[in-house]
Each structure stands twice: as C-alpha cells, then as structure tokens.
Amino acid sequence: MKISLNKQQQKAVAATKGPVLVLATAGSGKTMTLTARIVNLINKGVLPQNILAITFTNKAAGEMKQRIQKAILKNAKTNFKITEQGFEPFVSTFHSLGLFIIKENYQKLGISKYFSIYDKQDTTRAVKEAIKNLNLDSADFEIKNIVSYISKNKSKMLTIQNFNTEFIQSAFAENLFKIWQEYEKIKTEDGAYDFDDLILIPTLLLQKNKEIQKHYQNKWQYIHIDEYQDTNKVQNKLISLLVNPETENIFAVGDDDQSIYAWRGSDIENILSFEKKYKNVLKIFMEQNYRSTKNITQAADFIIQQNQNRYPKSLFSQNQEGEKIHLHNAFSEKQEAEFVAQEIKEKLKNKNITENDIAVLYRANFQSRILEEAMLKHSIPYQVIGTKFFNRAEVKDIISYIQAALNPNSLVDLKRVINNPKRGIGPASVVKIFAANDKENIDLPKKAKENYKEFLGILKEIKEQSTKLNISDLIEFTIKKSGFQKTFEEKNTDDDQERLANMYELALFAKKYSGLENEVSTIQFLEDVALMSDADTKKDEEKKPTVKLMTIHASKGLEFKTVFVTGAEDILFSPQADLDQKEYQKKLDEERRLFFVAATRAKEFLYITWCSTRSVYGRTETNLVCPFVLDIPEKLLEYSSTFNVDVSDNDDEDIVYLEW
C-alpha cells in the first residue's frame, strides 16, 4: 500500500532509532504517520512482536491494528504472518497493556490467575461497604466523590502505603483515608483489581522488580505512544519503565496545544519535559493541517500563539482559502440559539452538507438547553453527545422536589430527594420511612428524625409557594430551600458549579410559562418536561443524520464541515478569579488550548458566537467577547449581530441582522 507522506511525516517514519518526539498539530495526519512508522520498522526487519503501540481508546487501538495489518498484508517485503497470534505488534490501551502484564505475573503479585476486575458498579458497591464496615454515616459522603478521590490518588502513583498522612488535617479527610484503606481491604478479599489498579500495579511491579522490567524492555524494543499530551503521572512512569535505557527507542506523538484534560489528571509537563527525560531527542514538527481551510487554520494559529508555555510551532494549510470565520454577537442566549438554528437551516439547503456534517460546541453543559430548544423549534434533527439537558441528574432532582411537594404519594420522587443533598437520613432510616403507614410518626434515631422532620418542612414550604410563585421563581426557591445552592457553593468544584448552573438554566427555561397563573404554570411545566424527558430517553429507531451538540472536551478528535463555537464569552472561558497568579495563568492557558481545539474541529465553515447578556446561576450577566477571539486578525473575520428591541421571551420575535 502506497502512502503519500510530506517531508516531516517521512522524517518521522524514517526515524527508527532513539527517542523521537513528534509534535503533530491538529489535522496533521499523526495516526497515519504513526502507522506508517510501525510498518517501516517491520519492513526493515524488526520483529512485529517487538513493537508496542499505546493509544487511549479501544476504538483507536482497533483502527490502528486494522491499518497495520492491511498495510503489512499488502506489502511484499515481509513474510511475517501478522494476523497470527504472537506475530503482530502489541497495540492496546493503557488498561489493556496493564492487564496483560498482570496476567503474565499473577503469581509474583500473589493473586489468583482468575482475579476479577471491578467495574464502576463494583467499585461503588465496595465503597458503600467500606463506609458501612467503618460504622460511618453514609449520609455524610458522596460516593462518586470518594471514588474520584481514590482514582486521582492512584493516577498520582499514591497508595495507602505511601500516602503522606501528614496532609490529613481534618476529621473528614481522615475518614476519607480510612474508607480508602477499607476499600482496598475489601478489594483484596474479593481477589480483584479496579481499573486504576490495571495501570498502577504493573507500574509498581516494574519499579520494584528489575528482572521483570528487563523482560519487557527486551520484549518491546520499540515503543510508540499516541496522544502523549494526555498522559497522567502513573501512565508516564509506566512508559518510562518499559523503555530500554540503552536504546531509548520511544516514539511519542502528541500536541501540547491540545492538552485539555488536566481536570482528570493529565499533565502537560509530561510532553513539555520529554527532552529532559531522554537523551538526544529527535524533535519533529508536523505543522501542516490537512483538515481545515487556510482561513480557519490561520485563525486557530493566531489564537494558540499567545500561550507561552508551549513548543514554538506554526499551524498552516495548503487547502483553499475558504470562507472567513463568522463572528456573531447576539443580545441573549435565546437569540444566539435562534441564529445558530437559522444558519443550520440555510446550510442544509446545500446538497453537499447533511446534518452529520454540522456540530454545535459549547464550554459548559448548561448551554445545551436553549440550543436544544431551538433545534426542536426549527425541526432540526439533533443528537446531544453526553446527557441531554432534561435527563441530567441535577435537573431531575429539582423537578422531583416539586413533584414530591405537590404529590406526597410519588414514591419515586420522594426516594430521589429525601437525602439529596445529604442531610443525615441514612439507608436504614429511609427503609423505615417508606415501610411505615404513618409517615409522620416513625421510630427513627433522634438525628435522623430531626432531619426527616426538616425535609418534610421543606416540601411543605415548596407546596405553599407553588400557589404564590410562578414556576420559574418556584424553581429558584427550591434550589435554595432544598440546600443544593449552599452545598454546591461550599464544595465549589467545577462540576458543582456546572450542576448549579444547570439548575438555574431550568429556571430560565421555565420563564416561558410566566404568562400563566401560578398553579397552572407549574402543572403545565411538569407535564411538558415529562414529555421532553421521555422523548430524550427513546432510542432512535432510524439511523438518520443528526446535528451534533456537545461540549468542546467531547469534540476532541472529531471533525465536521461546519462548526459553531457558542458562548465565546469572557465569563465562560476564564478561570476562577481567586486563584494565585501562577495557577490562574496555568488554567487560562488550558482555556486557550480548549478554544484552539474547538476552532480546529472545523473543515470548511467556522462560526463563533457570543452573547452580550447571559443568565448564569439565575443572574443576568453582561459579557465581553472571549479575549481569545480578539487575537484573530480582522481580515479573517466577518461580523453580524442579532439585537431585538423587544428582548422578551416571545417565540415570534423578529430578529434584525446588522453587519458590523
């Protein structure tokens, strides 16, 4: 199979000795290059079974295997039967690689050959069991937060043995550590590993046992790693332990400009410090973008050039110049969504563009609600990648509070909210409550009884307010009265901020019912939301083309003819203001990289939209355009605005387009 490669790609393919760092920017053909390099090694006489290639997803690993097999089978230079077991490169994810090493060394690890692997449900069960074994009140803990705590520690190569307990400075932190200890005990008794162990255990094994380490260094003499910028500490350590220090045959492909997963443990320093870790590194820049037009490529390059902590490189394209980037300023998020929907309808008049060719991207999940509404209004088939707005847990929580207040017999809603947010009503108390005939006189522990009484009081107040407030105001009242606002603001993590924003987005959606009487507005709202949620959960019976709605994070690795980057505002693309200067700059750099990733998803048409006003956490904020947009030269932009003198929520509002 003949593969056409440019000079930089050829240089990467031909580099068969020593450490190689390929800095492959967006759309530069890195997967094709990595595959061609493996094929070239085999053509030069390297045994396929001496080659290791690591990717981040099973899909990517499968596709790479197919490409390599197809290339080898069509190449007359080799006689290796690559399709036979044991005569092929080892192409896998980190987890599959770790599992392979564990299975080969189960005796040295002191575990059964038939050890189990915990999935998410198993991990959750074991954490709950740990809390119960320690006689702790489960109402005081969020299970998913404990799971995240354990996972993040393991990604940093921390174990219960090497964890520095001097950092434990509160009773809550001490309990977290105890739960982790008990969880590990339960896991050991089950003869099981969790997903994080599949990487951590082999890393610790190779670090401790030099004989085993040497075995794998001899086995895999040529190591390839894709998406290197996404590695965390333990993954990076595992790679370095597998590299033979005498030859250092490691081929790392990545792009520091696309490092956007710090929130889940990825460390950009792994790729930035590659030259310090290995000697005489051959650094190859693959800067030609084959995906996008020249205008899109130039705009993206101007955006990312402003980051300082990066490898200096310039993105370029030899494709046609293409359309200018369309920058659109709307007065509100509703007008922004209306503009996006109308532009999509125009684009779909072109026979060469289908719904599958269009993506609408956003920074935060709460932005999807108004966009979904616009898609429905204009009968545009769409698919939300991730969870649709009305199926998100926090949105359902608020709806369940109102349902439970209005209908005390709705057990499904009562069960959902009775201890949500956590208020000290444990599982045993919940069982007693729902088993009792008289719900107000139940034999409960004193603390649980007080908390249950408080919960009933909250429902009573919500019901009373339902006759006095319209549904939008009732939702805001419920957010505060339920304790969600206080809980999320105290935790103040990115996830909690987004959950709170989604709740207030629900209140914003409910404003459309403000013309109805209070009780009528609530009933109508609940009926409509139930129908929307039901429609969300139904699987598509036909595989028809759909416009894709997704976060920018979810869009990584994808491409579309037309891309809308919505919500390009300073308030959405900026770190928390209370961070110290170093941390603030670090997070701001990642926000810029995120914006760069969004822009480089577009092949032909790129729209960037922003609102002068947006409702966030129930407050209408006045916004400035995201500063990253200002880095794009005016010659690459065309402008339009959507402003309406009447900015009410009337669906039939006339929109005026003004060219700037």
Catalytic residues: 30-31, 226-227, 258, 601
| DSSP helix/strand/coil, 397 | helix
Take residue 93 and report the two structure tokens written for it. 């994810």
Task: Determine the Cα angle at 113 with ends 107 and 116, to 5°.
Answer: 120
In single-letter form, the type of residue at position 131 comes to: I
Q: Which residues of 34-63 are buried (b: 16+ CB within 10 A; e: fewer)?
A: bbbbbbbbbeeebebbbbbbbbbeeebbee
Whole-angstrom distance, CA of residue 13 vs CA of residue 9? 6
Residue 471: which of 414, 417, 387, 528 has the closest Cα? 528
Tell me the C-alpha distance between 618 and 355, whole Å: 33
Give the HSE-up count for residue 67: Cα atoms under 13 Å, Cβ half-sphere: 20
Contacts of 479 (CB under 8 A, 6+ apart): 398, 485, 500, 503, 504, 507, 618
List the one residue out of 399, 241, 285 whose CA is nearest residue 30: 285
Beta strands 637-643; 656-658: pairing state: antiparallel
DSSP 79-102: ---TTSTTSS-EEEEHHHHHHHHH
Rounded to whole angstroms, what are the CA distances from 333 to 479, 548, 595, 654? Answer: 22, 18, 19, 15
Crossing angle of helices 333-347 and 368-377, in 10° steps, is 50
Give the integer Cα–Cα distance in Å for 259 and 586.
12
